[in-house]
Structure 1
Amino acid sequence: MTRLDRYIFRQLVVALLAVTIGLAALVWLTQSLRFIELVLDRGLSFLVFIELTGLLLPSFFAVILPITTFVVTLFVYVRLAADRELVVMRAAGLSQWRLARPALGLATIAAGLCYALNLWLVPVTQASFRAWQFEIRNQLAAILVQEGVFSSIGDDLTVYARYRDRDGTLRGILIHDARERGAPVTILAEAGRITPGPNGPRVTLENGQRQQIDRVPPPADAAPGTPPSTRLNVLSFSENSVDLARTRGGTQDGERYRNAQERTLDELLNPDPADRIPDRDLRRFRAEAHQRLASPLNAIGFGLVALATALAGQFRRHGGGIRLFTGIAVVVALLALGLMVGNLAARQNSMIPLIWVNALAPGVLACWVIAGLPGLPHGLGRRRPRPAQAEGAGPA
């Protein structure tokens, strides 16, 4: 690496660290606001909050690193062009690819970091995060129930207690259980106690009613298209128990179902048949595996797009805005296209090759632009000489 390479590379690295850390901190701050309630209202310590939200940072870095690589490369090279430093370097005999070498090295390092994050660190941290979140919602459900508050345990279970005695007995209990699809249950009880169970805490209720709305199919002689009727079933009981740990995030036996983000690459491509994973999730797993392998290449592709934007034209201190806007618009369009292609591939695995096209095509086209658009006619691929230069040119 020459002295000029080190000069440009040092500016790129410093800017990349500053922009990536700053943007990751901003994203972390916005995402962590939804966990503040665990500290303020649920009684968990601030250290647990920091550790829980810190597990989200690797996934943030994996997403924003290709974007910050583009931003930093574009900013540094445009500034070098505006300060006429690139003009001096070209006058010294440096070609386009020699000028691009520091940025290509930075983009390669960023892609390597993204591969380490996607293939190792992100699945580990996501598994730890979701396991911890599942434990807080289920195994620690006892501390989530507060007197005089409608406490949501997961997305489908709500518990209300009018007050709590000194011995821990809950009085005036209302439970709305929507964990069974299409059959929500409302339970009213005079008293209850939270006790440990085999799969987590459960509440033992005394002297109450269990209300459930059932759908009754129309009789056989009903007219076609007759909607089913509903019937309210009320069951009085002297003692009943409700499992607070069996939420929608787990299975019937209390085990937690792991989604695609927390599975390793081998588990995504070769899932265990004993898990009985639905076909819909199998399609998502295959799309997620290819997304992990292809998305780090965006760091190189976006870096090449930034180089094509900065090196293919001349920037002045008060000009070049259209070219800058074009480069930024291209990356924004690529990001939107990547989201669309990822969703399509998750539904139909036949669209998976589009993930690789979206990751490789921008870099290939940017290389073509940096090389001077070879293959195009002379008037399209290169700029025509100025009239003064044409008149001054004599016969060979």
Structure 2
Amino acid sequence: MSRFDRYLMSQLLSLFGFFALVLVAVYWVNRAVGLFDQLIGDGQSALVFLEFSVLTLPNAIRLVLPIAAFAATVYVVNRLMQESELVVMQATGFSAFRLARPVLYFGLTVMGMQLVLTNILVPASQRILSERSAEISQNITARFLTAGQFMHPSQGITLYIREISPTGEILDLFLADERSETDRAVHTARKAFLVRGEVAPKLVMVDGSTQRLTRKDGRMAVTRFSDFTLDLAGLISVGGAGQIALNALPTRVLLEAWPEAAAATGASVAQMQEEGHSRLAAPLLAVAAALIGFAALMQGSFSRFGLWRQMALAVGLLIALQLVWTWGGSVALEREGAWPAVYAGPLVGILVAGAMLWWAQQPRRRGRIFA
């Protein structure tokens, strides 16, 4: 790279790091508030909250990289135009396309970061997050069992425990199930234990009874037992246990739409193709966003008041680019084989940026519109 390319690249990368840090912090704080309410409210420790927060960071970084690239490009170009540095380079004979070369290098650098994130780090973090979520969903003791108070793990279920021993033994259990419209069941036991099940934990009750009241005729049947096992899968929701998240699968599996993966995730072939190709197309948005921000500001000339109209144009084009990206994803989800629509957004953005750079080299036409 020439000295000018290295200089502009250093400016872009330094501001990109700043904007990326700010945007990731904003997104992470917003996400952390929800995680805090969910995990701490369910009885989890602060270490679990910290672990989940760290696992959500790769996805947060992936989302903000194109926006950070756009913001860094607009900020740097506006500053260099105000300080006449780009004006001097144009006076030496640099065309708009030549000036855009370091911006293209910058966009490709951000694209490389995003490729690593979307295809390696994000799927890996989502797999770990899914596994840990399944483990916590199974941990009913931490989520629902609190001694000395009435709890309602789900609609129509009332649970009371007098005491939980240091070894995890439940003493004096009361469990009322009023979900059925025909009868009402009440389980009591002197002792109880929780054991792991395939879908949800199972409650093993010792030395207790089950009272079942028929609502229609008011008859009550009492069954005493020495030990009784109750499956909690129907009593407590475990949040989709046993199903793999689509964003946790490797990109190759999604692109080839393996039938085994479709069965494990419950997703259609179109959904798998859209997810896989989005991981390849989304990094191109960083290139398109950076070029659009640069090309839009190149439509103006030196002004001590800044390039506010050109900046507004850049923001409007970025919003339009996002709309095209969303449209492409919805088309790809509608039917199998429509995945090329995912690439429409980035390609349209790059073509628009190229057209604007060509237009920027037409001084007379530019002067009539942006003077």
Do they superpose with TM above 0.5? Answer: yes
Return the match for 1:247 from 231, 234, 238. Answer: 238
Q: Give the share of equivalent positions with the same residue, in percent.
A: 23
* Equivalences for residues 127-206 of structure 1 within 5 A: 127-138=127-138, 140-145=139-144, 146-147=146-147, 148=149, 150=151, 152=153, 160-167=158-165, 168-169=170-171, 171-174=173-176, 188-191=186-189, 193-199=192-198, 201-205=201-205, 206=208
**DSSP-derived class of the 1:77 partner:** helix
The change in CA–CA distance for 1:274 and 1:350 in structure 2 (over 3 A counts) is closer
Which residue of structure 1 lines up, in the alignment, with residue 313 of structure 2?
326
State the superposition RMSD in angstroms: 3.4
Q: Are the counterparts in 2 of residues 144 and 151 from structure 1 also a CA contact under 8 Å?
A: no
Q: Are the counterparts in 2 of residues 157 and 175 from structure 1 also a CA contact under 8 Å?
A: no
**DSSP-derived class of the 2:100 partner:** helix
Amino acid at match of 1:247: V
Amino acid at match of 2:310: R
The alpha-carbon deviation at position 233 of structure 1 amounts to 12
**DSSP-derived class of the 1:173 partner:** strand
Q: Are the counterparts in 2 of residues 172 and 188 from structure 1 also a CA contact under 8 Å?
A: yes
Amino acid at match of 2:309: I
The change in CA–CA distance for 1:161 and 1:99 in structure 2 (over 3 A counts) is same
The alpha-carbon deviation at position 123 of structure 1 amounts to 0.7
Which residue of structure 1 lines up, in the alignment, with residue 270 of structure 2?
283
* Equivalences for residues 16-165 of structure 1 within 5 A: 16-37=16-37, 40-138=40-138, 140-145=139-144, 146-147=146-147, 148=149, 150=151, 152=153, 160-165=158-163
Tell me the distance in 1 between the aligned counterparts of 2:182 and 2:315. Answer: 49
Tell me the distance in 2 between the aligned counterparts of 1:6 and 1:93. Answer: 18
The alpha-carbon deviation at position 55 of structure 1 amounts to 0.8
Tell me the distance in 1 between the aligned counterparts of 2:223 and 2:255. Answer: 49
Q: How many residues align?
A: 351
Return the match for 1:269 from 250, 255, 271. Answer: 255
* Equivalences for residues 330-345 of structure 1 within 5 A: 330-345=317-332
The alpha-carbon deviation at position 37 of structure 1 amounts to 3.8
The alpha-carbon deviation at position 42 of structure 1 amounts to 3.9
**DSSP-derived class of the 2:161 partner:** strand
The alpha-carbon deviation at position 149 of structure 1 amounts to 5.3
- Superposed CA deviations along residues 289-327 of structure 1, whole A, max 9, x for unmatched, are 111111110011111111111112225232532221121
Tell me the distance in 1 between the aligned counterparts of 2:312 and 2:281. Answer: 26
**DSSP-derived class of the 2:201 partner:** strand
The alpha-carbon deviation at position 357 of structure 1 amounts to 1.3
**DSSP-derived class of the 1:295 partner:** helix
The alpha-carbon deviation at position 333 of structure 1 amounts to 2.5
- Superposed CA deviations along residues 267-306 of structure 1, whole A, max 9, x for unmatched, are 2133443466288532211111111111110011111111
Amino acid at match of 2:30: T
Q: Are the counterparts in 2 of residues 288 and 346 from structure 1 also a CA contact under 8 Å?
A: no
**DSSP-derived class of the 2:35 partner:** helix
Q: Are the counterparts in 2 of residues 280 and 347 from structure 1 also a CA contact under 8 Å?
A: no
- Superposed CA deviations along residues 141-182 of structure 1, whole A, max 9, x for unmatched, are 222122435454xxx78854233324422533245789xxxx
Which residue of structure 2 lines up, in the alignment, with residue 208 of structure 1?
210
Higher helix share: 2
Tell me the distance in 2 between the aligned counterparts of 1:185 and 1:78. Answer: 72
- Superposed CA deviations along residues 23-46 of structure 1, whole A, max 9, x for unmatched, are 112111111112224664444332
Amino acid at match of 1:18: F
Tell me the distance in 2 between the aligned counterparts of 1:243 and 1:187. Answer: 14
Tell me the distance in 1 between the aligned counterparts of 2:40 and 2:17. Answer: 33
The change in CA–CA distance for 1:325 and 1:171 in structure 2 (over 3 A counts) is same
The change in CA–CA distance for 1:203 and 1:76 in structure 2 (over 3 A counts) is same
Amino acid at match of 1:307: F
Which residue of structure 2 lines up, in the alignment, with residue 223 of structure 1?
none
The change in CA–CA distance for 1:169 and 1:37 in structure 2 (over 3 A counts) is farther
Which residue of structure 2 lines up, in the alignment, with residue 305 of structure 1?
292
**DSSP-derived class of the 1:258 partner:** coil
Of 74-83 and 164-173, more deviation after overlay is shown by 164-173
Q: Are the counterparts in 2 of residues 73 and 307 from structure 1 also a CA contact under 8 Å?
A: yes
Q: Are the counterparts in 2 of residues 203 and 243 from structure 1 also a CA contact under 8 Å?
A: yes
Amino acid at match of 2:210: G
Tell me the distance in 1 between the aligned counterparts of 2:315 and 2:212. Answer: 59
Q: Are the counterparts in 1 of residues 195 and 202 from structure 2 also a CA contact under 8 Å?
A: yes
The alpha-carbon deviation at position 236 of structure 1 amounts to 6.2
Q: Are the counterparts in 2 of residues 77 and 310 from structure 1 also a CA contact under 8 Å?
A: yes
- Superposed CA deviations along residues 127-154 of structure 1, whole A, max 9, x for unmatched, are 101110111011x1222122435454xx
Tell me the distance in 1 between the aligned counterparts of 2:38 and 2:25. Answer: 20
